[in-house]
Amino acid sequence: MVKFLLVAIAIPSAVIAVALLLVMTPMEHLSTVEDVFGFENSGEKKPGEVSSPATIHRYVARDGEQLAYRVYPSSSSRILLFVHGSSYHSAAYDGLAKSISEAGLATVYMPNLRGHYLSGARRGDIDHMGQLESDLADLIAHARSEGDTGEIIVGGHSSGGGLAIRFAGGEHSALASGYWLLAPVIPGAPSVRDGDAGGWAVVNNGRLAGLLMLNAFGITGLNGLPVIQFNKPVVFRDGSETLSYSFRLNQSYHPRYNYEQDIQAMGDRVEVFVGEHDEAVDPEMLKIVFTDAGSKANIHVFANVNHFGIFDSQAARQSIVDALR
């Protein structure tokens, strides 16, 4: 009996020791940053070339933190809550939001997620896993308090699309009537090219594995450590980027690892858009991922379009906007 107890104690202790060693894996120094998404050839603007986006507003989250968002009023009572992709913030989608609001299709609310530019106490970090979903629910409550009473469509681009999927599988899912996803990134799914979005995401796999092991034992004190960096060319940076994420922010930004359940939770009112040549998302594998999860989502694939080209291509952009009609 004593021997059994000693073994029962020794095994978890050994696993935790290994996990701690993995957590000590240093972050890679990105001496050479690749233009993975082809910013140079897309419509991406360099600092100084960007027109002024809509004004930043603030709403109060349940923990008292004042978080940033932009709003684009419309004649429509419908609300589109649209989540930005990794590393940047809502300003990147100003043109899309204006197209939607001016067409009378939806009032668009776009948050700067906690841990990003102008939102939260620490860049690249949040307080606990799942906090981003609560923040989105609080923004919806704020929109209601502002008099916007229509149905809620939750959408997002890239990692923002991943967070929208996660939202569907969480405790606040009843707030949404539908989903509108642009090139959604689903880590762990075969739809993510090369497992790292084509080289955009540089993951410290050793540290990530160690933290997952520690969390399995209920040890969460190291969840604020960074685990991922982003390959954004220096020439396209303006100082408002968030170029690395902590474990808890990163985990909160994408669907749960049993992503099929989150996808299934979205129901049938789902529109998905992706370019044929998307550098991060394989469109054919994305179809399979959704089909295998039992989803009846409408998946639109645009020929000769890449990850950011869905905003530059007139045909793609028109199709994306028309899906809200």
Helices and strands per DSSP (H, E), number in the chain:
10, 11
**Per-residue pLDDT band at 46 (split at 50, 70, 90):** very low
Distances (CA, A) of 273 to 94, 158, 317: 18, 10, 10
Sheet holding 79-83, edge to edge: 57-60, 66-72, 107-111, 79-83, 152-157, 178-182, 270-275, 298-302
Question: Locate tokens 């989105």: which residue?
Answer: 136
**Which helix (H) or strand (E) is 305 found in, with range?**
none
Sheet holding 201-203, edge to edge: 201-203, 226-230, 244-246
Tens-place pLDDT, residues 298-312: 999 999 999 999 999
Q: Is pLDDT of 120 > 50?
A: yes
Cα(320)–Cα(239) distance, rounded to whole angstroms? 30
Q: Given CA atoms 96, 98, 99, 101 in this order, what sign does their dihedral have?
A: positive
Question: Locate tokens 């233009």: which residue?
Answer: 35
Q: For residue 62, count CB atoms less than 10 angstroms from its CB and return exposed for 0-12, middle for 13-18, buried for 19 or more.
A: exposed
Reference 155, options 165, 144, 169, 146; nearest CA is 165
Tens-place pLDDT, residues 75-93: 999 999 999 999 999 999 9
Give residue 195's pLDDT: 72
Task: Name residue 274's beta-bridge partners.
Answer: 301
**Which helix (H) or strand (E) is 295 found in, with range?**
none
Give residue 200's pLDDT: 85
Give residue 37's pLDDT: 73
Tens-place pLDDT, residues 206-231: 999 999 999 999 999 999 999 999 98
Which of 20-34, 52-66, 78-92, 226-240 is predicted least confidently? 20-34
Q: pTM surpassing 0.85?
A: yes
Reference 39, options 49, 31, 29; nearest CA is 49
Pairing of strands 66-72, 57-60: antiparallel
Q: Which domains does the chain have, with CATH numbers?
A: 2-322 (3.40.50.1820)
Q: For residue 35, count CB atoms less than 10 angstroms from its CB and return exposed for 0-12, middle for 13-18, buried for 19 or more.
A: middle
